[in-house]
Every structure is written in C-alpha cells, then in structure tokens.
Structure 1
Amino acid sequence: MEVAVSPAIDAGDRERLLHGTHHDPHAVLGAHPVPGGVAFRAFRPYAQAVSVVSGDLRADLHDDGDGFFSGLLPLTEVPGYRLLVTYDGTVHETEDAYRFLPTLGELDLHLLGEGRHERLWRVLGAHVMTHQGVTGTRFSVWAPNARGVRVAGNFNFWDAGGHAMRSLGSSGVWELFVPGIGEGELYKFEITRPDGSRTLRADPLARRTEVPPATSSIVHASHHEWGDAEWMAHRADTPVHEAPFSVYEVHLPSWRPGLTYRQLADQLPAYVTEMGFTHVELMPVAEHPFGGSWGYQVTGFFAPTARLGTPDDFKYLVDRLHQAGVGVLMDWVPAHFPRDEWALAEFDGRPLYEHHDPLRAAHPDWGTLEFDFGRREVRNFLVANAVYWCEEFHIDGLRVDAVASMLYLDYSREPGQWTPNEHGGRENLDAVAFLQEMNATVYRRCPGVVTIAEESTAWDGVTRPTHHKGPSGFGGLGFGLKWNMGWMHDSLQYMSHEPVHRKYHHHEMTFSMVYAYSENYVLPISHDEVVHGKRSLVSKMPGDWWQQRANHRAYLGFMWAHPGKQLLFMGQEFAQGAEWSEAHGPDWWLFDPSYGAEADHRGVRDLVRDLNTVYRTTPALWERDTEPSGFQWVVGDAAEDNLLAFLRLDAAGVPLLALSNLSPVVRHDYRLGVPEDVPAWHEVLNTDAERYGGSAVTNPDPVKPEPQPWHGRPASIRLTLPPLATVWLRPA
C-alpha cells in the first residue's frame, strides 16, 4: 500500500525558487504523480488563494506561505487543469506555465551548442505560439553563467518570482512557455549572477523594443504581407559588381525629421527614384539607446529602432522602396556594443558576448566592448543576425561598419595593450574566421544580397572569395564590395587645394588607378566626411561660392565616371553648405524661394539626377568596373593643365570619354587622343551647363575626330573645355 507524501515543496527547492536560482522549476512546480495521487504545486507571490480546476473538479490548495501553494489529489494520472488564483478578492483563471513540456527540440539545441543555428531568432527571444493546444509566448535566452533566470513584465507587474525559467542543459539556454501572454507585452529577463546578485536585462534577440530611453523588450509577431515578389525574384539576375550601383546614404530619423517609417515610405522612394539612385543605404536601423551615436552603438541587434515605428512599419518602408525599384542597403555593426547595464555587457554576470580578456574586450576609441569572435555562440549570434535582416526584412545588402577595428589586434592600441596571435602576428584570426563565415552564409542563404566592407587599410583580399588564398596565406574575406577610403581621402585632399596649387598634387587624383582592380570598390562620400569639423562637400572646395559649386559639380562628374560604384550622403546632392546634424537633417530650406539662392542648389541637384540617369543607361560606366580592360587613360599626366581624361568601355567595347578640367580657365581647342573607329563624339553631360549653375561653356555639336595622332592614339579631337568642370562624351 502506497503511503501518501506531503505535496509541499521541500525547503531547498523553496529557497532556490524564492531567490531565483532554480535551474529546473518544472521539476517541482505544476502537477506530478507521487505516491497517493497527483501533487499540485504553485508559486504565486502575493496570491491569497490558489485552486485547481479540472472538469467538474475544483480543489483548493493549501497555503504553504511565501506564495507557495500545494495539494495532493487522489488521481491516477495528471489531468488537464487550470488554476484559479485569488488576488485581493479578484479571481483569475489561468493555465499553469509549469504543466508544459519544453518548446525547443533536440535539433535546435544541438545547432545552438555547435554555433550553427542560422535562424537563431526563431529559437531564442520571445515567440507567440500555440503549444500543447494553448496559445502563449515562449521565452528563451542564452545565459550559461546564470544561476537562475526569470521573466519579468507587465503581465506579472515586473515581479519575476512566479515565472522562473528552466535550464536546457549544457546549451546554456533557459526557456519558459507562458500561456495567455501575447504580442505587445513588455518584458525583460531577470538573471541571477554567479555571485547571487540579480540584474534585469533586455532580450538580446528582442525583435521589438520600447522607444528609447525606455529599454524593455516587446513580444512581437509580424503581420506584414510583402508586395515585392518581383523585386526579390530578379535582384540576383546580375552580379552587383557588373550592374549600375549608385547609392544615396540616408539617416532615417533626420532625413525628414519627425517622419515615421510609414510616412517615410510615402516620400523617400519618390525622392530617390526622381534622383535616379539605384539604392539607398540606411545608417544603422537596429535599436540603440543614444541617438547621438547615429545608430553605431547597438543594443537591440534584432529590432529596428522604435523611434520611427514598429518592425512591420519598417518592413513596409523596405517594401515600398522595392516596389519603386530601389534596393535597400543597411549599415550593420558587428564590431562592438555599448556597456549599458541593461543590455549585453556581462550579460549573465560574466563576460559573455565580449571577450573575457579586458584588454581585448575594451574598444579604445569608442568606450564600447568588442565581441568575442572566437566564441561559437557569439559568432552564431552575429551570423544569424546578418541573415535575419536579409531574410526577414528583405534587405539587399549589409555595409559592415568598422571592419579594420575587427581585423587587427593592435587597432588603436599601444605596445603592451595587445597580445599577438598564435603566429606572432597582429591579425585577429577569430574575426577573420567570423567575417568569412558571415559572408559565406549570407551569400549562400540570400541570393542577390551584397556585403560591403568599410575597411580602411590595405588588408589583402577583402572582396576575394573565402576559399581563395592570397599571398598573406589567408583566404579572402568574401565581401562583395569594399569602400575605397584611399580614393576618398586622396581625391578630397586634391580638391581642397586652390587650382593654382593642384599641379603639385596631381598624383592624388591618379594614384587610385594603381590599385583600382585590387578589390571591388565603392567610392564613398559618406556621412563620415561631412561631420566633426570636416565641413560639407561643397564647403571643402576652394574659391568663392560660384567656384565652390563648380568644383563640387566637377568632382561629382569625375566620381561618377571613375571605376567603382558611387555613394553620396544626403544633403551633398544639392550642395548643402553646412555640416550634417542629426538634430535637423538636410537643409531643405535652401529650396525655399524666399532664401534667394534656391537655383544654386537646384542646379546641383539636377546635375546629380542627370549623372544617375546617364550613368544607368551607359554600361561603359559600370559593366566592367572590376576589369582593367574597362578603363584606359587618355591623358593622366597633364598636371600643369589640371586635366584628367580617360575612357570607360563596356563589354562590347563601346566607350565613354570622361574629362575633368580642374582649373578655373576655359581651354579652347584642347586636343585629346581618341580611338579611330568612332566617327563622332557627342557631349552627353557637362557639369558647366547653365541649368546646373555653370557658365554654359559646352560643345553642342558632334565632335569629329581628325587623323592627327595624339596621346599615343591614331586620331584626336579638339574640344572647348569649360572651367572647373567634367564633360562626358559618347559615340554619336
């Protein structure tokens, strides 16, 4: 004969549940067969009474004190049941969270342990689901050093005591299915650290957050129905490096201050389409606590910033851009994260996402923490995050921020502040492996997506495939494109000089062609070049206001013709004179007629639109961007004349002739060598045109070659070169 046992929770389990250090609350709470029947146990802090209801059965549980209730019912098996919980005379009927089996399967846990779960966001975080016939939310979080984890939120009045999570073994994952909780609920994880202290943390995989400065995570379920099937079906048709690629860089919160994602969707696609750009690049969209970081100090890697709306609102913006034929690139920041005590730093009481060595963890420039790229779960977090934005939000490209800071152990560090790698070198081998894995995974999973490196050194093979080893012995990093920081620095340095001095700096405009085909390049005039006292693009130019604008236009014409893709930051497309400020964005007021100089800015904007229009219809300017055979100097050594002239050729050999006269004088009958098989040349773009604000020195009629050899070519043409201008000619 079985002897009935006391259903009450023993003292040890009771202590652990009270102090948030129980690793398996499901083993003691809920309903369990015991000698003499089924024991029911509940932990409901602040409850006055708890009863079990099963069919016609209702049984009151004994109040064991401190919020614990228990009872032994003479049943042969665990029935389906619910709890009636009384608080201050109000009775709530609810499911018991501790009657449910784990929601995560062995395969998910195995992949998590291996660091190979490419859809990590579907496993960790908060997910509305139906489990064992009941709708609720599964909460799961990776916290291997925690002594215990509980869920706090609006649903339990931010008292996590009644919602202890269970540890799923060696995976380091904690999990709890909370019935009756749906989307829109605020929550955080209460983690008991190894030293017994507790910390309240936002979910690292939260897909929605509160609007900063509030920091809670929000249970989210997407309901957006995509309308960009045609875009998605064809975006991989042509490799990016062989296609037109002209990028408008945008800081969404300040492009039109005050607009939401949905309001931006009514204005941004129309503007970008009118201007002729093929893509927008969004400065970081992922949630960040400090707006002044412009998004580059991320705390919510899986959540679009709530400042502008919900995740579905952001999807709507991407959708509308795609439907307008505009690709969407996004800045992605896997190099570091801020130290906010409610986010990733020492997440479970010990270094987890950051490196365990404080010297390796601390980023010397930004006061942030660097990820531990050698830890497989951290690599998994970041690789899955890259895939997440591409798969869930249909992002067409990731521009990876601060790659150089990841690649070098001694980046911004003095001797004694870093330790060489196992070969005695300065390369961060863990970061190299991570970037290779990230690129290979994104390209495998997301056809048509491009990854772009902001890498400021001469690291070998940034855009080489990962399986091709270079002279350094490393495989390529596997990026699709790389920002050409050398071209940017040199060309802006040249343009800042007075024209009378430019002849001494001519190499600054030609040196880029020495290495132009070492990588697949983007030519970036980004936000970094128009802040922190660097001045706006037009304000970098020498001379009076007319000359500044002329230089600005000539430079853009040179940039659009130079091998490589183009990127221009908002405000520079209309020669904004002031530096960018995230507080008020571009100076749109410059187009107000009452300002009196709106034509000056409209002219530059019209030029950028025409540059994009001609560019997109001229394969010579993009089809062979990465092939030396797509470029030929006509004259690259005319330093005394401040002149540059070169040919771009498409796959069929059809040329475009681009020349830049970067002196303020008109040059009449200037002779240039040209191919002999072109019967006439037609001027298709001239940055000195009157409609752009120029002096209207043009070549309106077709220009026919003469049989006089010049510049090593069998024929030549004579042109009138406008001052401080770039001219493009195509075969008539």
Structure 2
Amino acid sequence: MPKKQQSTTTPEAVVPEVDAPRVATSEATTPETASAGATGAAVTAPEAPSAAPEPTVPSDEVLAQIAEGTHTGPHSVLGQHPAGLPDADAVVIRALRPLAREVVAVLDSGARVELAHIGHGVWQGVSVAGFQDYVLETTYEDDITWTADDPYRYLPTVGDIDLHLFGEGRHERLWEMLGSHHRTMSGVARETWGTAFAVWAPHARAVRVIGDFNNWNGVLHAMRRMDVHGIWELFVPDLAPYSAYKFEILTAAGEWIEKADPMARHTETPPATASVVTESSYRWGDSGWMSARAAQNPNDQPISVYEMHLGSWRQGLGYRDAADQLIDYLHETGYTHVEFLPLAEHPYEPSWGYQVTGYYAPTSRFGHPDDLKYLIDRLHQARIGVYMDWVPGHFPKDAWALANFDGQPLYEHSDPRLGEHQDWGTLIFNFGDSQVRNFLVANALYWLDEFHVDGLRVDAVASMLYLDYSRKDGEWLPNRYGGRENLEAISFLQETTATAYKLHPGVMMMAEESTSWGGVTHPTSNGGLGFGLKWNMGWMNDSLRYIANDPLWRNYHQNELTFSFLYSFSENFILPISHDEVVHGKGSLIGKMPGDPWQQLANVRAYLAFQWAHPGKQLLFMGQEFGQRSEWSQERSLDWWILDQPAHRGLLSFVAQLNRVYRENPSFWQQDSSSAGFSWIDGSDAANSVLAFLRWDRDGNPVAALFNFSGRPVGDYRIGLPFAGTWEELLNSDAAEFGGSGVGNYGSVVAENEPSHGHPASVVLTLPPLGALYLRPKRRK
C-alpha cells in the first residue's frame, strides 16, 4: 500500500455549524455542471509567481450554495480548473475553508499558491504551472494549521457504464458501484488511497458525507450529483477503513436528515446505527466445494437442513468462535446443510433478523464480514453447505434507515395500500421501480458471490405475491387486470431466481410460500417463479395436526398423514419444521406430542423418520434434534443440559443415524422431484394407524418405509414388497440404543414370493409401537 498522505481529520474548531439553507437556482446546478471535473496532465512546474492574474470569480449565489453544502456540483466550482486566461497553463484552485485565516495550495512540485478569500468561506488562487497534485494548508486563528488533500480535485469514482447499467436497473454488481469503498484514485501524476462514497438519492436537493473523520459535520464533504437518476458521489482522500459514517441529505422540504448507507457492507454494532467503511482481505479455501457445487443439480442431491439462530445456539459465540463447535456438531448429527436465520444487519434483536436495515452488511454482533466468510469457508471445507434466510418482502420504518430515504418514499411504494404491511408495522419495497429491483436482485447476488452462500431461503413470499395479503376490502389496489396478483413482485422474483441460477449454477433458491400458488418451482420460461424448492407448509400443518392426536384416535385422521402425497410432485418441496413452529406459544416439537415422556420421545422419533422418508428435502430447527422441551427464545442458549438425560441423548443419536441412512441411500433423495421416486405399499390401514411406501433411486433400488403410529406393537403384519429375498433393517426408531422398547425383527426379514398390496412379494413382520422401520434389499458383497 502506498505511504499514507496527511490525515483528513477535521479539527472541531475548523468547521462551523450550518443551518438548513434555502437553495437558489442557478446555471451552476445543472446536471452538466454537476458532473464536471478537473482534467489535465502531469507538468513539471516552476515556482508559482508572486502575482498571478485574476480569473473569473463565481457569483455570490454560487458561493453561498457551496458554503451551505447545497450545490449539486461542488466539483465544478471547487478543486482545480482551467483559469480561462491567456496563459494556457493557468489553473484556478478553489477551496472551501470557513473561518480560515490563510489557505495555501502546496503543489507536488513544492510551489506554494496562496489563495484569497472570495466570499462565504471560499478561497481562490491561480497557478501558472498547469494541473498538478496538491494539498491544502489551512491556518486558523491561534495559528492552528491543518494540512489535507482536496476531495474536489478528483474525477468521479462512478463511471458512465455503471450509471447506464443502474439507470437500466441491470447492474448485477451494484455493491461495487454504490456504498463506500477503500481504493486508490489517480490524480494528475500520483495515486492516492482514500474512500469513495456513492449513494442513490434522486429526490435530494443535496447530499453530504458525515462521519467520525469530520466530526459528523458534512460542510467540507458535499457530494456531486452525477446523473438524472440521482447518484451522488465523493472521494475522500486518505480516509482509511473502519471510519463510521452516514449520509446527510437535504430533502425537498428543506430539512437535513441523517441516513445510514443502504449499501454499507459493514456497520457499527447495534444499537449504534452508523455505517462503517470496510475492506476485505479474506482468501477463500473452498475452491473444491465451489467447483463441485457448480457441476451438480442440488435437487437430486441429499439435503437435510439444520436451521439455526446463530445468536442463541450457544450464546456468546462470534462467527469465528462458532466454526469449530458448529462443524463438530453437524458432523456428529449428520446434516448436509446449515441454514442461518437472517444474518443481514438488523437493529431489533427479537426480530431474529427479519427486520433488515443493512441488506449488504452481515450483522456486526458476531464480528467483521471477513469473520463470516471464515465461518462459511470452514463449513464448506468440512463438506457442509450453507443457506441463509433473505428478506426482500418488507423492511422496518426506522428513521435512520431505508424508510423515506431521501425525504420521501424511495425504496418503498408511496401508496400505503401497496407500500405498507399494517400487521407487521413494516414497509414494502416498490417492486415496480427499476432501481429498487436492482438493489434487491444485486443483494441476492452479493450473498451468493461475496460470501459463497449456497442458497437463499426467501422469506414471506406469499406476502409479496398477493396485493390483498392480510388486507381487508378497500385496503388494497388491484393490478392492471383487476386481479389480486402483484405482477411487479412476480416479475421481481422471476428475475432474481433466473439471474441467480445464471450466474451461480448449483445454488438453491427456496421460497417460503404458504399458499397454493401454482408454479413456484417451475421454470421462469414457463411462467413459473423459478425457485428450486418450496417450503411444504401443507405437509407441516397436516402432519403436526395428526401427530398431536392421542394414538387411540389417530385412526380417524389417516387422511391428514396421506393427503400430502397427492401433491408431492406438483412442486419441488422441502419439508420444514422451522423456528416458526416452536415460538409464540406453540411450544417445542416434543411438547406437541401426546403421552408420557417416553411416548413423546417415541412419537418424535417416528415423526422425524416419516419426515425424512417422505418425498422432499428436510429441515429441522435447532434444539428439536435432541428434544428440547422449553419453547425456543432468542434471549438464551439452547437447553444443552438436557443431553445429560439418556433419553434425550438417545434422540440425538437417532437423528444422527437418520441422517447417515438418508445420505447413504439415494432412494431417499435422488428422485425427490419425480413420481418415479415413490410408490405406495399401503396408505389405507387407518385401523392400525399404519402407513407403508417405497422410495426408489434411478437404478431401481428401493427402500421400504413402514410406520406404526399406534401405541401398540403390530405383530404378524404382512407387507407387500417388490422383491423376494432378505431385506435388511436400515433403521428402527424403537431400538433400545435410541431409548426405544427394542421391538423389531432381529435386523432383517425374508420376503417370499407371495403377492400382497399389489406387489409380487411380501413379508410378515412386527411393527414396533410408535415406531418406524426402513428396510432395504440385502446387497450382495
């Protein structure tokens, strides 16, 4: 890194407080002048003359705008420009230095150009040495001298191609254009390290950068407006990473407001709300994982997901601290993937991350963004995939964040019938605005690209799809065809999934969609939303309702267990028992089960075996894998102490075995999206609360999944099978090692050529109480 130049930290005595100004209109505020900048080539300069010719002085109105920070193109006035004098090398240098006694531009050649005060704190001088790099030496009363580079001598940090792409709403790497970036900028003959700031604020009359580097006073750091779309830009030389900052915006109503950067990639730790300049030095080590991921279709791979809230899994762990412990635990339990509840920055901890204010910033509660990269990298190297919840459906109303960002609705729709969730107290993105869509689509790509996330679970998709979602008559507006579908949101979701799969093959886009919307996982080319998986909320509701019944009465509810098989292949499904099912008075999974503690644990084992064998992928929220009895709370760690009880340790061992059997048998997952991967043995034996079916891989290898949800063993029970011969027991949920009663078939059964249940062979066996069996034809060695 080049040697740093002099510090730009502004002495408090240097910058006065500035009241909200009134802005006059002048030719200097046109877009053409706003985007103008100094140009020139390196020149070997002689000593500056003592008496320089006088160039034109800007009007008093323009000088007042510069002083008040309301000029939309301060670079067109400040900095260095051709002087317009007979001497072609004559350059005028102007600087804003309120309360200064003397201002001198010190050229790289060593020459000193004295500047004279021309009004409103603006100083001006002329050099006949041509364009050069320089710093400003400012002396105040009491002989305080401050030397700093001049932000207004640099060309724009945002290029024409960037502006065009954003104007079209198609900038797929928007985080590299907007926000804050520590980088080098070329001057006339040398490069300077500093920080480039850029923000979208089309309704703003002016924008300034404030931060700990200028005592939160933006008088000397007014930004220039680049184009009609409202991009504002400023390069602050010598400003190093980890400075805190915000944008100070003059609204159309004449009010100065302070806003965090919507594109910030790092933030202060809540409850502090400022954005933080950052840079990444992380070097990834997961190239093998990423290459293999790109070559696979995740839909025909094993996916069993451990959903977790990082802050309450084991409280006190940061991103780096969690790596070893989480990897060891996921290896012990056998999950293929972990899914984090939202990790984007959010001010309110009890929102669990679903009220996002910093869409591009990993929450600082657990460390630096590079620390999150470390965690994900380590998980990948341990052959564990990483999903993350993503929340484009709504955002909170915090005054310092996205709401009314530039003084009026910008990210949200201006009509509350389209732009506000009354139930949640949050705002809805304006999905029909090209730049808002660009902000969101690029955000999805940001997590996939910069953090190597393997997939995004999109929260609350149903709330986005329907204009009348949770609204009464008269509280919503129909679409242009008179319907209730949110056409702009549909188009946005299609654009997001299609772009994600195009740029990152092998990732998984998942939808939490709770209605019967058709085509959630169908290709966008066929009018679908393009997701890879849809949360099967119907299966969840039906199966939980069934399992909550006393076994004596389950025979009356068999259809609740079998109905999901009628639509299992209408979409690509994942079966979730998520955080939503163990909060808000719903209790824990084991708490939903009837009976005494032994029966509750047996029910959990049988239920999870049913979930893992059912067509679709699986997701289970943390703590349920060992039978936590208390309801989950983000305010405390999981009840790890309960694992000291053998019965709960047995449940954890069962889940580990369940995941191992699942991973090692492609019959469970290779054809999840095809009816060829499933066939019935018998779903109609309600009298015994028995259910039996087959899962198939592409090579025609079956696994039989048998379930007895009654509270008694069912002996001498004939089950049809596709092949005669020995079938080995892959899993028995009632095994003593898992805390069961040990009822079973001694590890294997022999099927004979006697047809039953529409199959050419059958076997007579014993089904354990509240139990599940997995059987597989014995493989020849």
Q: TM-score if structure 2 supplies the norm length?
A: 0.90
Residue 362 of structure 2 is aligned to residue 313 of structure 1: no
The worse-fitting range, judged by mean Cα deviation, of 204-213 and 14-23 is 14-23
2:747 and 2:399 map into 1 onto residues whose CA distance is 68
Match of 2:678 among 631, 636, 643: 631
Deviation for aligned residue 1:713: 2.2
Please tell me the residue identity of whatever aligns with 2:751. P
Deviation for aligned residue 1:21: 1.9
Contact 2:67 2:96 (8 Å CA) reproduced: no
Deviation for aligned residue 1:549: 0.6
Contact 2:520 2:531 (8 Å CA) reproduced: yes
Task: Name stretches of at least 5 consecutive residues in structure 2 with no aligned partner.
Answer: 1-51
Contact 1:8 1:69 (8 Å CA) reproduced: no
1:72 and 1:184 map into 2 onto residues whose CA distance is 35
Residue 471 of structure 2 is aligned to residue 413 of structure 1: yes
Match of 2:735 among 680, 689, 705: 689
Match of 1:622 among 666, 669, 674: 669
Equivalence map 1:450-599=2 (5 Å): 450-468=508-526, 475-592=527-644, 598-599=645-646
Please tell me the residue identity of whatever aligns with 2:160. E
Q: Deviations over 1:475-497 (max 9, x none)?
A: 10000011000000000000011
Residue 125 of structure 2 is aligned to residue 72 of structure 1: yes
Contact 1:643 1:662 (8 Å CA) reproduced: yes
Residue 710 of structure 2 is aligned to residue 657 of structure 1: no
**Partner of 1:178 in structure 2?**
236
Q: Deviations over 1:308-327 (max 9, x none)?
A: 00000000000000010000
1:396 and 1:383 map into 2 onto residues whose CA distance is 16
Q: Deviations over 1:370-412 (max 9, x none)?
A: 0000000000000000000000000000000000000000000
**Partner of 1:430 in structure 2?**
488
**Partner of 1:472 in structure 2?**
none
Task: Name stretches of at least 5 consecutive residues in structure 1 with no aligned partner.
Answer: 469-474, 593-597
Deviation for aligned residue 1:682: 1.1
Change (3 A) 1:45 1:496: farther
Please tell me the residue identity of whatever aligns with 2:397. R
Q: Deviations over 1:178-218 (max 9, x none)?
A: 10012111111000001110111100000000000001111
1:82 and 1:705 map into 2 onto residues whose CA distance is 89
1:304 and 1:545 map into 2 onto residues whose CA distance is 40
Please tell me the residue identity of whatever aligns with 1:385. N
Contact 2:95 2:124 (8 Å CA) reproduced: no
Deviation for aligned residue 1:556: 0.4
Contact 1:409 1:418 (8 Å CA) reproduced: yes
Please tell me the residue identity of whatever aligns with 1:673. G
1:513 and 1:359 map into 2 onto residues whose CA distance is 38
**Partner of 1:713 in structure 2?**
759
**Partner of 2:223 in structure 1?**
165
2:230 and 2:332 map into 1 onto residues whose CA distance is 51
Deviation for aligned residue 1:435: 0.3
Deviation for aligned residue 1:296: 0.1
Residue 101 of structure 2 is aligned to residue 62 of structure 1: no
Residue 335 of structure 2 is aligned to residue 277 of structure 1: yes
Deviation for aligned residue 1:77: 2.7
Contact 1:335 1:370 (8 Å CA) reproduced: yes
1:60 and 1:20 map into 2 onto residues whose CA distance is 24
Deviation for aligned residue 1:32: 2.2
2:613 and 2:100 map into 1 onto residues whose CA distance is 73
Identity percentage over the alignment?
56
**Partner of 1:15 in structure 2?**
64
2:124 and 2:427 map into 1 onto residues whose CA distance is 50
Contact 1:334 1:371 (8 Å CA) reproduced: yes
**Partner of 1:595 in structure 2?**
none
Deviation for aligned residue 1:591: 2.4
Deviation for aligned residue 1:722: 0.6
Q: Deviations over 1:251-307 (max 9, x none)?
A: 111111001100001211111122110000000000000000000000000000000
**Partner of 2:39 in structure 1?**
none
Change (3 A) 1:678 1:198: farther
1:548 and 1:530 map into 2 onto residues whose CA distance is 16
Contact 2:684 2:691 (8 Å CA) reproduced: yes
Change (3 A) 1:295 1:701: closer
Match of 2:155 among 101, 110, 123: 101
Change (3 A) 1:548 1:64: same
Q: Deviations over 1:331-361 (max 9, x none)?
A: 0000011000100001001110000212211
Equivalence map 1:338-487=2 (5 Å): 338-468=396-526, 475-487=527-539
1:446 and 1:536 map into 2 onto residues whose CA distance is 36
1:701 and 1:506 map into 2 onto residues whose CA distance is 28
2:597 and 2:57 map into 1 onto residues whose CA distance is 84
Deviation for aligned residue 1:7: 6.0
1:45 and 1:538 map into 2 onto residues whose CA distance is 69
1:449 and 1:707 map into 2 onto residues whose CA distance is 45
Q: TM-score if structure 1 supplies the norm length?
A: 0.96
- RMSD (Å), alpha carbons: 1.5
2:55 and 2:478 map into 1 onto residues whose CA distance is 61
Please tell me the residue identity of whatever aligns with 2:132. P
1:394 and 1:33 map into 2 onto residues whose CA distance is 48
Contact 1:50 1:69 (8 Å CA) reproduced: no
1:35 and 1:665 map into 2 onto residues whose CA distance is 99
Deviation for aligned residue 1:76: 5.7
Contact 2:294 2:504 (8 Å CA) reproduced: no
Deviation for aligned residue 1:75: 1.4
Deviation for aligned residue 1:364: 2.1
The worse-fitting range, judged by mean Cα deviation, of 9-18 and 220-229 is 9-18
Q: Number of paired residues?
A: 718
